[in-house]
Amino acid sequence: MRRETSIRRTVLLFAAGALLLVAACQSQPLPPLALKAPRAVVWNDFLGVNAQFHWFPPEVYKRQMQALHALGLSWVRLGLQWELLEPEPGKFRYDVLDPIVDAMRDDGLQPEVYLVGSASFATTAPASAREFRDQYPPRDDDEYARTLAGLAQRYPSVAAWQVWNEPNLPGFWRPHEDPDGYARLFLASAKALRSAVPDKPVVLGGFAYFGEMGVLGGSMIDAIAARALAAQANSTLPQIDPPVVAYHPYTLYPEGNKPTSREFLDKSNKLNAHLRTLGVKQIWADEWGWSSYAGPKEEQPIIGSDGQADFLLRRVALTSALDFDRVFLFTLSDLDQRASVRDRSYGLLDLAAQPKPAYLALQRFLAITGPRLEPADTPAFTDVPSGLIGIAWTRADGHRLLMFWAADAGEVKLTQIPRATLHDPLADTHKELVAANDGALHVPVTSRLAMLEWTP
């Protein structure tokens, strides 16, 4: 299956320009922040990646799968274009999809798969719409639901099924977002999936950013939740298990939409707490990342390959300490000219499936942490630079680990740790630190993630 349109789409960082202007005019010192995760993290179950295996020949996508396996990860999110999968009614391109699903199964991968884009024969696009006809919702919710359920039955190795993608963006739901329309599509699909594969999670939405609606305003997640609760009260909604709720917390920087903000943390904490009160049992951030593109500039700052590695590690560290059950970074491999200039460079791997700095940094990060981490209390600091963030863990071998970075460079002192190893997974270096004459361990801090390891 080929996809001629861009994987990523026009962003809706509504206030990003204004926020960056304010940041340039004034910068207030940020207080230190010690985060403690709500639960243990097992990377193989927590961290996944998006992938576009169908863009590549088998010899390349198999190398991509091997690279993912080498990280000790197995979750992958794969998008299927309905118009490409079924170009004519009843004529499916299984010749392309079957080998990919077989390869994922043989490699032990756990795919989350979504079906998006109306088939040419099933779209509600008006006759006057000569482009983007697939970006209109389907004319018949049940037709889409039957197609999705049929795929689920054909591919029992798929671990989870997601209904559509980013329905709060016009690039995936024209002419504009429609909570009622998407709620009907999801309901029909969830019912069909529960009948076809009752043991598989059904994933809601994959809402862009934090669920904001650009035309109608407000939160699409809240709008759909309100409709679902009302329908259940009137006994018009079939009783289904709570779906997985997924959203895509893209921001310009790992912490937020300006270098000194913590918008990502604030919005994620607020939204996730709200979702828990609604009875949501699984919350996934199943798409986010940064491009290493060289320009011309398209909204995201030009950060290059090293900046991409830095941003990814900081976001991985942050998501591990927040109330997410699973996260998927975007994306496993760079893409070719079918994607926009920015979209071509989101990968951990290049087009030949060779590691980029982001892949190598993540590999080193995971080697330092080990496969499982238990939450721990952050040690006491003194002389803290502005914007310090610290996340403490206990490794499976009993060693303590502190992930940290700050908005401003500086140094912190730790009086309770006489000796430690300072790891820099970005530079692939480490050095031994010993307490100074004042009895404190002096630890340099920069804006890049570093990791301090010691034995309690």
* Strand intervals (E) in 52-201: 75-81, 110-116, 160-163
Query: What would the mean pLDDT of 26-31 be, rounded to a whole number?
Result: 69
Give the span between the Cα atoms of 385 and 78, in whole angstroms.
41
Residue 212 and residue 170 share a domain? yes
Give the span between the Cα atoms of 168 and 179, in whole angstroms.
8
Q: pLDDT over 70 for what percent of the chain?
A: 91
Query: What would the mean pLDDT of 106-120 be, rounded to a whole number?
Result: 97
**154-190 residue pLDDT tens:** 999 999 999 999 999 999 999 999 999 999 999 999 9
What is the structure's pLDDT at 394?
A: 98
Q: Residue 328, SS3? A: strand
Annotate 113-144 with b (16+ C-beta within 10 A) or e (fewer): bbbbbbbbebbebeeeeeeebbbbbbeebebb
Residue 304 and residue 222 share a domain? yes
Residue 341 and residue 390 share a domain? no
What is the structure's pLDDT at 335?
A: 98
Which candidate, 266, 269, 311, places its Cα nearest to that of 289?
A: 311
**363-414 residue pLDDT tens:** 999 999 999 999 999 998 888 899 999 999 999 999 999 999 999 999 999 9
Assess whether pLDDT exceeds 70 at residue 139. Answer: yes
Residue 422 and residue 273 share a domain? no
What is the structure's pLDDT at 9?
A: 42
Residue 153 and residue 44 share a domain? yes
Residue 154 and residue 121 share a domain? yes
Give the span between the Cα atoms of 401 and 203, in whole angstroms.
33
- Is 24 part of any domain? no
CATH number at residue 381: 2.60.40
- Is 177 part of any domain? yes
Q: What does the angle CA 403 – CA 408 – CA 409 come to, to the nearest 5 degrees?
A: 75
Residue 419 and residue 353 share a domain? no
Entry pTM: 0.92
Residue 358 and residue 251 share a domain? yes
**203-218 residue pLDDT tens:** 998 999 999 999 999 9
Residue 216 and residue 234 share a domain? yes
- Is 1 part of any domain? no
- Domain tally for the chain? 2
> What average pLDDT is seen over the chain?
91
**283-334 residue pLDDT tens:** 999 999 999 999 999 989 999 999 999 999 999 999 999 999 999 999 999 9
Assess whether pLDDT exceeds 50 at residue 11. Answer: no
Helix (H) or strand (E) holding 442: strand 441-445
End position of a domain, from candidates 352, 371, 390: 371
Residue 405 and residue 327 share a domain? no
Q: What does the angle CA 248 – CA 378 – CA 268 come to, to the nearest 5 degrees?
A: 15
**247-284 residue pLDDT tens:** 999 999 999 999 888 999 999 999 999 999 988 999 99
Residue 382 and residue 314 share a domain? no
CATH number at residue 190: 3.20.20.80
Residue 329 and residue 275 share a domain? yes
User: What confidence category does residue 28 fall into, taking pLDDT thresholds of 50, 70 and 90?
Assistant: low
Domain assignment of residue 439, given as a range? 376-454
Which candidate, 403, 372, 399, places its Cα nearest to that of 455?
A: 399
- DSSP characters over 58-96: HHHHHHHHHHHHHTT--EEEEEEEHHHH-SBTTB--HHH
What is the structure's pLDDT at 80?
A: 97
With 0-12 CB in 10 A as exposed, 13-18 as middle and 19+ as buried, what is 278?
middle
Give the span between the Cα atoms of 264 and 287, in whole angstroms.
14
